[in-house]
A and B are shown apart, each in its own frame.
Chain A
């Protein structure tokens, strides 16, 4: 019995190590002095962080990523929440199909979606007689696709767990349907919506594959900027940029967790 428990603990620990090792090694490498990564380090330095802040493309990429992620989240979460409400509470036929369809972007590789969108944008540019690829609108529209599956999943999970009679009580007390939604359903959905916003933001902020074909000159997101840099140089600057990202996301999750217990929703 004791041996089996030990084995189990070892397996859990091993799994954690496997997940965290790349993240930790990025952080460690970001302070190595030598340009070409090798062990043991020749010394420690913060010079790569200074370099990361000096490179304009990273700063611009960061601002661009932030803009796209915030806009995509602001559009995708309300739309996804409405979809989840319709699927769970509504009585429209084909709800199951709709649900699967909305989770689609999760199942299709980002590069495929990106290529499809690229081709679609080229075609659509003829119709509207204006640029779509390489514009903020085009990028945000693509990233909304990333936020919807997460939102639909998380919000429907929360919605399914709600006691229906609470909403019935509100309508029994005289609240018309939309008031019930605004005053009772939505506040009860808050944990799901907050978690959906967080994950949508992260999904959009870190996305590379889908974004790759849709960015244009002067409009590059941070992951794409990092990939571009990698084409010419391999030094720990990228590790420094990645470390800053990891710290930001961790801070975001910890702050969110203070208000909504994420472990209860996800």
Chain B
């Protein structure tokens, strides 16, 4: 039995659809990231689980029990808000104790559990402070402690790291993941940051325009994206519109003929997805796809080349060539040759490409 289950969950506001038939089963102790651009419906989905938004259709089940019609306070969820939403007039300890108080936990047990939760987030020494006397990172940890201490059936996180600076974010990310693992919490995590989702989640749910595009592990989404949106959203990807032509060949709209994997390829128009790091670049002409370098960007450890194949431009990334190596000093305008294993170029169903899905 899934710890959290969403059955055809939908939300419509008038004629606009915010969330369209989301199905998802989360196992006990699993961390699921809802990932997508802003406005994709991920936060609405989370708020439907918490009970702040009433679904237009579908059901929410927590521990097998239908909670769709229950008010937020009767659902056993613990949520961490983007703004932290700490009670400004209560101390750190009082904030943390609030959920236990509501559950009528006795004073002695309450104090023990609050102390334990604050120790877990390393804030024991600040128990008597008010939220406004804390830094952003500390407030964040109070919000975590407050939601964890009630040992909720489902742990909900709404972009909890977006208000932290980059360094703190990486730290807290690890901290949340360790706490979640240690306590075995079933977790739903909303983010628009793919790196955050890739590093933290057991499985990712990629959403766009209210629909689930694909559900899977980080590796599954990266190596076998279901469509061009997922391919472009998770990591960088060259997306070339065109159509398969014969065995192992793809004719780009702009004319180039590219090797690809045509096994179970769609018939007719398609999109070729090719990760930039899977392309091997060599200087001059030779066996492979001939092109011309149009831009070289040096990024320190990495280097990025843009190669024009006669109308179709592909991005190639790789380790920056050290002085003396054949690719060193490659200048825009030089002829180059590209090679990639046919299996690295996947054909995806053709659809209109969103701007934000481009590499």
| Residues of chain B in range 238-257 having any CB-CB distance to chain A below 8 Å | none
B150 part of interface (Cβ distance < 8 Å): yes
Q: Are B102 and A169 in contact (CB under 8 A)?
A: no
Size class of the A contact interface (CB-based, 8 Å): 20 to 34
Q: Are A169 and B85 in contact (CB under 8 A)?
A: yes
B78 part of interface (Cβ distance < 8 Å): yes
B71 contact set on A, CB distance < 8 A: 171, 176-177
| Residues of chain A in range 170-222 having any CB-CB distance to chain B below 8 Å | 170-177, 179-180, 183-184, 187-188, 190
Q: Which one of B77, B82, B83, B87 contacts A172 once the chains associate, using CB atoms below 8 Å?
A: B77
B110 contact set on A, CB distance < 8 A: none
Q: Are B85 and A171 in contact (CB under 8 A)?
A: no
- Once A173-B99, A174-B102 are accepted as A-B contacts, the answer to whether A166 and B88 lie under 8 Å apart by CB is yes
The contact string, 1 if C-beta is below 8 Å from chain A, for chain B 160-199, is: 0000000000000000000000000000000000000000
Q: Are B89 and A188 in contact (CB under 8 A)?
A: yes
A165 part of interface (Cβ distance < 8 Å): yes
Q: Are A172 and B50 in contact (CB under 8 A)?
A: yes
A168 part of interface (Cβ distance < 8 Å): yes
Distance (whole angstroms) from the CB of B175 to the closest CB of chain A: 20
A169 contact set on B, CB distance < 8 A: 79, 81, 85-87, 146
B73 part of interface (Cβ distance < 8 Å): yes
B87 contact set on A, CB distance < 8 A: 166, 169-170, 184, 187
Give the most central of A168, A172, A187, A190: most B CB within 10 Å: A172
A174 contact set on B, CB distance < 8 A: 73, 99, 102-103, 150
Distance (whole angstroms) from the CB of B86 to the closest CB of chain A: 7
A54 part of interface (Cβ distance < 8 Å): no
Distance (whole angstroms) from the CB of B332 to the closest CB of chain A: 50
Q: Which one of A166, A172, A177 contacts B79 once the chains associate, using CB atoms below 8 Å?
A: A172
Q: Are B86 and A172 in contact (CB under 8 A)?
A: no
A163 part of interface (Cβ distance < 8 Å): yes
Give the most central of A171, A180, A184: most B CB within 10 Å: A171
A187 contact set on B, CB distance < 8 A: 87, 89
Tell me the count of chain B residues lying within 8 A, CB to CB, of chain A.
24
The contact string, 1 if C-beta is below 8 Å from chain A, for chain B 33-59, is: 000000000000000001110000000
B99 contact set on A, CB distance < 8 A: 173-174
Q: Are A173 and B85 in contact (CB under 8 A)?
A: no
Q: Are A176 and B73 in contact (CB under 8 A)?
A: yes
Distance (whole angstroms) from the CB of A264 to the closest CB of chain B: 13
Q: Are B102 and A168 in contact (CB under 8 A)?
A: no
B81 contact set on A, CB distance < 8 A: 165, 168-169
- Once A165-B81, A168-B81 are accepted as A-B contacts, the answer to whether A173 and B89 lie under 8 Å apart by CB is no
Distance (whole angstroms) from the CB of B139 to the closest CB of chain A: 12
- Within the assembled complex, what's the spacing in Å between the Cα atoms of A166 and B132? 14
A171 contact set on B, CB distance < 8 A: 71-73
Q: Are A173 and B86 in contact (CB under 8 A)?
A: no
Q: Are B85 and A166 in contact (CB under 8 A)?
A: yes
- Once A163-B85, A187-B89 are accepted as A-B contacts, the answer to whether A173 and B52 lie under 8 Å apart by CB is no
> Which residue in chain B gives the minimum CB-CB distance to A164?
B85
Q: Are A168 and B72 in contact (CB under 8 A)?
A: yes
The contact string, 1 if C-beta is below 8 Å from chain A, for chain B 219-259, is: 00000000000000000000000000000000000000000
Q: Which one of B85, B88, B103 contacts A168 once the chains associate, using CB atoms below 8 Å?
A: B85
B52 contact set on A, CB distance < 8 A: 168
Q: Are A165 and B85 in contact (CB under 8 A)?
A: yes
Give the most central of A168, A176, A180: most B CB within 10 Å: A168
Known A165-B82, A173-B78, A174-B150; further 16 A-B contacts with Cβ < 8 A? A163-B83, A166-B85, A166-B86, A166-B87, A166-B88, A168-B52, A168-B72, A168-B81, A168-B85, A169-B146, A172-B50, A172-B73, A172-B79, A177-B71, A184-B87, A187-B89
A/B interface sample: 17 pairs, CB < 8 A: A163-B85, A166-B86, A166-B88, A168-B85, A169-B87, A169-B146, A171-B73, A172-B51, A172-B73, A173-B99, A173-B146, A173-B147, A174-B103, A174-B150, A176-B71, A177-B73, A184-B87
Identify the A interface with B (CB < 8 A): 163, 165-166, 168-177, 179-180, 183-184, 187-188, 190
Identify the B interface with A (CB < 8 A): 50-52, 71-73, 77-79, 81-83, 85-89, 98-99, 102-103, 146-147, 150
